[in-house]
Structure 1
Amino acid sequence: MTALRKFFSKKLQYSEPLARADDANGHALLSFFGEDGAAELEGLYAREHLGIVTLELKDYYSLRSPDQDILGPKIMDTLEYEAVREIPNIFHHARFLFSERIGFCCVFLAFIITEDVVAFANATQLFRIQVRERINKNLLSTTNGIGDVLAGHAYIPPRRQGPFSEVVFKAYCHSRRFASQPKELSSLPLYDEFRWILEKGKISTLYQPVIDFQHGDVIGWEAFSRGPRGGFFEPPQTLFQLAAELGCTFDLETLCRDKALQGLGPIGPHQKLFLNNFCNDASAPGFSASQLLDIIAPHGLTPQNVVLEFAERQGFRDMNLFYKAIENFRREGFAIAIDDVGSGDSSLHNLTQIRPDYIKIDISLIDGIDSNPYHRSMVETLVFLAGKLNASIIAVGIETDTELSSLVSMGVDGGQGNLIGPPAPAVSAKSVTIPAKAWYTPANTAGWHTFSPVRELVRPTCSVSPGTTVKEVKAMLADQLPQTSVAVVNACRPVGLLMQYTMDRHLSTQFGMSLYYHREVGRIMDSAPLVVDVETSVEEAAKAAMAREGTKIYDDILVTEKGRLIGAVSVQGMLDKLAEMQVELAKGANPLSGLPGNVVIEHEIEKRVKKRLTCGMIYVDLDNFKVYNDVFGFDRGDKIILLTARTLTRAVAEKGDARDFVGHVGGDDFIVLAEPDNVPAICDRVLELFAAEVPSLYRNEDIQRGYIVGKGRDGHIRKYSLVSLSLAVLDCSFDERFSMGRLSERVADVKKRAKDIEGNSCIREPFASS
């Protein structure tokens, strides 16, 4: 099969005239799909309407020439990846089957057509536009060039054209011939429909409420534009993709904005309309704050009522011009939101340059956040960054109660989604009941700190002397992609740092080239960069980086060993590392309390053993908890568990210090590892807080008589006191004879004697390793 593929990969390269559509060529084409794929496709041919799409890069051979053995396949990998990624957004009238690489430069996509063939043909052209846009972003960074995508399509009706191998090859040839022929979009059926929509204003608007998580009130609505219902252009992405190809994005955006304003109706003085912006040209006529002021005024709106929303993946032709335009909008009082943050196209640099008022977390991170530790860690990081940027975090796509409660507990500021309110033709200001904050401990502040050194993240960096010119630095960075900074050193010791975006910002000013291009780098470098030793922990370095002034918060960190520069660490790399460690920690966290579980507890104990650190180990157990659970149910039992977690964490925060640790063994068992001097105050505060709070989880009559009636472990009905805490405290002085087995025995013994005492109790004893 391999030899056959190599032979036909050359034969199947497109050229005129096309190879005859005979059975041999058809079988050669099918060989690329493998036996199972070919059999599946032939089976579908018997009963389904099939469609194929071929994609190829018009300039493939010129783009691959610098490193043809390596770069060529990478380009095609990108083409296939971006194509498959975009299929769900475009082909609403067909079901995707599979993709396959044919030869060196063609991607073959197979579909079952579920509706009319014309819709499938129209989708193919929009598909070409979108895939071209996506792949060119990648080509610019890898080849410094751009290419054009050729897309063709063909229709295969069920069992009407002869042997399947011959039919599929005919369709393949037809598709590639169609792709190679020059076409005017105005000649396609979809063009006339698009012009009709634009000229007749056939756009409708749906409004989805955005609520704040503090009170549950509606703070605004996001406006979603739709084409004619049930038509090919109903999804907004198809409208804007064709508009971009025709060069009329701003015309379409103006129509959508006007429709959104007309349908809004009266809103409160502090409520907001979130308007999506798709235009990627900041110099477009009408992209100005003054014109927008004139447009919103007749609708009774002020700039404080409007939020301009831009997608994070949106690429502007001139980013510096865009940043200036954003500043003009902000000066007039308009707020700025960045959407799709966390979608995979993230740019920390853009966030710091734009400094948005709102950061909207992409739906991909919200989906399953209540159970996905990776998503939770990423959202934690974004909440932290938003605090540094003084921005509000909004979660998009909330579908379940557990997602909502998780986001509220994590400190997210607001949200939108079908759970809160689906997009609707009219605005609704109905408030939402916000769930009480569950006891949530972020993975990076749960008492477990990482001591991984930045050494693990150091990468080589360019270095220059203070006398190097800016011109030389710019050339150096251009030749050494993906380097984005240079360290300025004197006798191997760092004296400055220059980030590429800082250099570009200086050079892009009106007289920047004249002032700086031929001058020493010292004129524009940061002469006080953040420098850390190679053994500094990642956590400490990240805290230092986040403590810098806003304009430097995402600059690289220089790393030294014995005072000599050895490399640099990017903030993005540190955040990725912290997120990775948070994921590992979150995997072992208790799903109810959010406190670290047994894996981390054992790590904390082993750390103290290894360093011979004395500590007070407080083992916490609930008395009469099983009976309470049986009488009141598991939901109320969970509230007792959460109360205990909250009590322990608060007591340690108030009476302990940063070295103390709280963990959740499981069920109704907890553990605290504290400095010996802190133990008495912590224990007293725990018992005090618990005694004050636990009555709120009982009925009045239970509190008055001081007991409940329930069935014990022996099956007998009797009276049981209210739930209380037993604290078994061991003063541990670890030595080489320590064993976990011996520790467990001593804990069990002391805990038993504590539980024999009625009500809240505490017994403290020394622990001998032998």
Structure 2
Amino acid sequence: MATNPSDSSMNDRDHTLLRNEMLEILRNQSIHSVYQPIISLKNGTVLGYEALTRGPENSPLHSPLTLFSYAEQEGMLYRLDRLAREKAIHGAFLARKNELLFINISAAILYDPLFVPGKTLEMLEAHGIQPGQIVFEITERSSIEDFSMAQKILEHYRHQGYRIAIDDAGAGYSSLQAIAELQPDFIKVDKSLIQDVYRSKTKEAIMESFVSFAQKLNIQIIAEGIERQEELLYLTRMGVHFGQGYLLGRPGTEKAVVAPELAESIIQQRKIRDNIGSAWTIGDLITATATFDSKALISEVASYFKNNLHAPGVVIVSNDVPVGLMMRESLFQQLAGQYGFSLFWNRSIDQIMDKQPLIVDEHTPVENVSQLATSRDINNLYDLVVITSKGKMAGACSIRSILECITNARMESAKVASPLTGLPGNIQIHRELSKRLLEKKGFSVIYADLDYFKWFNDRYGFQKGDQLIQYTADVIQQSLFACGLPHDFVGHIGGDDFIAITSSDEPEKLCKEIIRRFDQGVRLLYEGDDWLYVEDRNGNKVDNAGVTISLSLIICGTAESVTLEQISQASAKLKKMSKEHPGSIYHCACIGDGDYV
């Protein structure tokens, strides 16, 4: 059995053997790195790899946690850390110039006099790696005592092009302080917050907070320890940027290949998220904005602003493609200097324009543009957002119009959404069904309601009843994410009644998935009770093992004659049929024209 270096009962002989083992490892450089991929939760591509150090096989110091803990205890941490960095860089196999290599460093290493950029830079150049591809992960478990000094050291590295990550966020003592003081490029959220996040409202709320403030600070979130499909779907839906874990790829020594079905699932879930509540696109907010050719004289633009006092800015174009932005205030600030007019008056506008304005396609959801716009530098926060159509100049919009649009949309949504589940209510459901019928394309409607919900509510109380309603909402949404399409819809009719509208070619598969997920998890709400019977609304005993779910599937063809009334009547008939059978079940009917069976 391996000796635990932190065991206080370890005798002198064991201590000597372990110290000799440590010295032998350093002398022979007998550690190696394995590399775990970090995957984009937007498109399923590889962002980069985290280098993970391993000690010799069959050694009590094989585990990295044991290895580094003992090295720190014995005053050998600096030597071990330098060796680990060398091994990580030496074995790296970055496939593209934009792939990143994440290297773990302890906070204590920042004060190593030999922890200097020159040495690391030499190793990188020898292996064809740029400093911009290296991310130093500072583990949150080793506290930083002097943030002022750490800031200076890390700023020096940033100037060289290196990036910074805070590791294990949420697992230790000073996550928020480290994030606030060091302003990292990445936050790696500890596995303890990721595990079963889809079952824990507390973990979900914490993750949503991480994502929210990370967007405001222009920081990227990496979720560690993803091992289940449900965790991946939940995190993707929440807007987490990247993921890492056994589900996405185990540590190894070869280039990672993301399974096509996994990448497709990630892309689909992100599309669903991006379209939730995004009925408005930025194209809806386009306003006509003056344009000038990139070679137009600065004097021409200045004259335009003088004659158009309410114009906040103009877009600079080349062959009708936006290439820059010139805001009124910025132009006159530059001209107001001592030699402003003489220096700039007869020069072309492309010499002083903002060459990196925010340019978005007209179909981008307003919510997405808002996040991009508000994460800009404070000096550009209120600059116009340039909008294109098929790559060509279409117009622009102001931050004010974007924020007003979002505020109005959220107020409208809040008025009609279910206060318990947050899902769209009856007004939005009616709109969605009407829109689908006007499109004259095939779609399917699934009505869901719970059997013996009143019995459950009476037996366990209203709080548990609310949990069951929320659980059902989660099941339907997760099933739609797994088997549906990006523009599918879920609504809460009221009480224990829900509706799903899908364009999937396999709606029956979706019904089976809802039933599977519901039956699999509902027993967790019974507090350990086993039920052989339940009671109906009249108090009569019915042989049933608890609450079940009944589904009515209506497959709507493309005929113009299909109406909301037909859908409603078909649903009522199917619901009655489902209620006559015990257990979770679905019944199906087809209305209108279409190639359905």
* TM-score, structure 2 normalization: 0.50
- Does residue 242 (structure 1) correspond to residue 70 (structure 2)? The answer is yes
Match of 1:303 in 2: 131
- Superimposed CA distance per residue, residues 403-449 of structure 1 (whole angstroms, 9 cap, x where no aligned partner): 2122211111111111111011333355653211178779x999xxx
Pair 1:372–1:201, CA change in 2 (3 A): same
Match of 1:437 in 2: 269
- Does residue 232 (structure 1) correspond to residue 232 (structure 2)? The answer is no
Pair 1:397–1:725, CA change in 2 (3 A): farther
Match of 2:20 in 1: 192
- Superimposed CA distance per residue, residues 453-482 of structure 1 (whole angstroms, 9 cap, x where no aligned partner): xxxxxxxxxxxxxxxxxxxxxxxxxxxxxx
The correspondence for 2:39, drawn from 181, 200, 211, is 211
The correspondence for 1:375, drawn from 179, 193, 203, is 203
The correspondence for 1:397, drawn from 214, 225, 237, is 225
- Does residue 126 (structure 1) correspond to residue 6 (structure 2)? The answer is yes
- Does residue 726 (structure 1) correspond to residue 569 (structure 2)? The answer is no
Pair 1:335–1:223, CA change in 2 (3 A): same
- Superimposed CA distance per residue, residues 567-594 of structure 1 (whole angstroms, 9 cap, x where no aligned partner): xxxxxxxxxxxxxxxxxxxxxxxxxxxx
| Native 8 Å contact 1:206 1:424 kept in 2 | yes
- Does residue 263 (structure 1) correspond to residue 263 (structure 2)? The answer is no
- Matched residue of 2:232: which SS? helix
| Native 8 Å contact 2:104 2:137 kept in 1 | yes
Matches of 1:196 and 1:384 in 2, distance apart?
Answer: 47
Matches of 2:478 and 2:142 in 1, distance apart?
Answer: 48
- Does residue 386 (structure 1) correspond to residue 218 (structure 2)? The answer is no
| Native 8 Å contact 1:310 1:337 kept in 2 | yes
Matches of 1:249 and 1:637 in 2, distance apart?
Answer: 46
Q: For 1:120-199, what aligned pairs fall within 5 Å after superposition? A: 122-123=3-4, 125-127=5-7, 151-152=8-9, 188-199=16-27
**By how many angstroms is 1:641 displaced?**
12
Pair 1:242–1:616, CA change in 2 (3 A): closer
- Matched residue of 2:52: which SS? strand
| Native 8 Å contact 2:140 2:172 kept in 1 | no
Pair 1:279–1:355, CA change in 2 (3 A): closer
Match of 2:252 in 1: 424
Matches of 2:271 and 2:563 in 1, distance apart?
Answer: 19
- Superimposed CA distance per residue, residues 39-97 of structure 1 (whole angstroms, 9 cap, x where no aligned partner): xxxxxxxxxxxxxxxxxxxxxxxxxxxxxxxxxxxxxxxxxxxxxxxxxxxxxxxxxxx
Pair 1:395–1:641, CA change in 2 (3 A): closer
| Native 8 Å contact 1:205 1:224 kept in 2 | yes
| Native 8 Å contact 1:393 1:414 kept in 2 | yes
Pair 1:330–1:189, CA change in 2 (3 A): same
Over aligned residues, Cα RMSD in angstroms? 5.0
- What is the identity, as a one-letter code, of the residue corresponding to 1:406? Y
Match of 1:359 in 2: 187
**By how many angstroms is 1:392 displaced?**
1.2
| Native 8 Å contact 1:249 1:279 kept in 2 | no
Match of 2:516 in 1: none
**By how many angstroms is 1:635 displaced?**
10
- Superimposed CA distance per residue, residues 496-529 of structure 1 (whole angstroms, 9 cap, x where no aligned partner): xxxxxxxxxxxxxxxxxxxxxxxxxxxxxxxxxx
- What is the identity, as a one-letter code, of the residue corresponding to 1:329? Y
Pair 1:417–1:600, CA change in 2 (3 A): closer
Match of 2:158 in 1: 330
Pair 1:626–1:206, CA change in 2 (3 A): closer
- Does residue 277 (structure 1) correspond to residue 105 (structure 2)? The answer is yes
Matches of 1:663 and 1:377 in 2, distance apart?
Answer: 21
Pair 1:225–1:667, CA change in 2 (3 A): same
The correspondence for 1:411, drawn from 239, 248, 264, is 239
**By how many angstroms is 1:279 displaced?**
5.0
Larger radius of gyration: 1
Unaligned runs of 5+ in 1: 1-114, 128-150, 154-177, 447-542, 551-594, 606-614, 629-633, 650-661, 672-689, 700-718, 729-747, 753-757, 761-770
Match of 2:122 in 1: 294
- What is the identity, as a one-letter code, of the residue corresponding to 2:40? D
- What is the identity, as a one-letter code, of the residue corresponding to 1:364? S
- Matched residue of 1:225: which SS? strand
The correspondence for 1:220, drawn from 25, 41, 48, is 48
- Matched residue of 2:269: which SS? coil
Pair 1:621–1:292, CA change in 2 (3 A): closer
**By how many angstroms is 1:387 displaced?**
0.6
**By how many angstroms is 1:230 displaced?**
2.1
Matches of 1:621 and 1:306 in 2, distance apart?
Answer: 47
- Matched residue of 1:282: which SS? helix
Q: For 1:736-751, what aligned pairs fall within 5 Å after superposition? A: none
Matches of 2:246 and 2:207 in 1, distance apart?
Answer: 20
The correspondence for 2:498, drawn from 654, 669, 685, is 669
* TM-score, structure 1 normalization: 0.40
Q: For 1:505-654, what aligned pairs fall within 5 Å after superposition? A: 599=420, 625=445, 639=480
Pair 1:347–1:617, CA change in 2 (3 A): closer
Match of 1:563 in 2: none
| Native 8 Å contact 1:217 1:431 kept in 2 | no
- Matched residue of 1:264: which SS? coil
- Superimposed CA distance per residue, residues 607-640 of structure 1 (whole angstroms, 9 cap, x where no aligned partner): xxxxxxxx97977998985699xxxxx9999549
Higher relative contact order (CA 8 A, sep 6+): 2
| Native 8 Å contact 1:620 1:669 kept in 2 | no
Pair 1:376–1:596, CA change in 2 (3 A): farther
- What is the identity, as a one-letter code, of the residue corresponding to 1:260? A
Matches of 1:641 and 1:194 in 2, distance apart?
Answer: 49
Match of 2:531 in 1: none
Matches of 1:259 and 1:223 in 2, distance apart?
Answer: 9
**By how many angstroms is 1:547 displaced?**
10
**By how many angstroms is 1:361 displaced?**
1.1
**By how many angstroms is 1:254 displaced?**
0.8
Q: For 1:671-710, what aligned pairs fall within 5 Å after superposition? A: 694=503
Length, aligned pairs only:
358
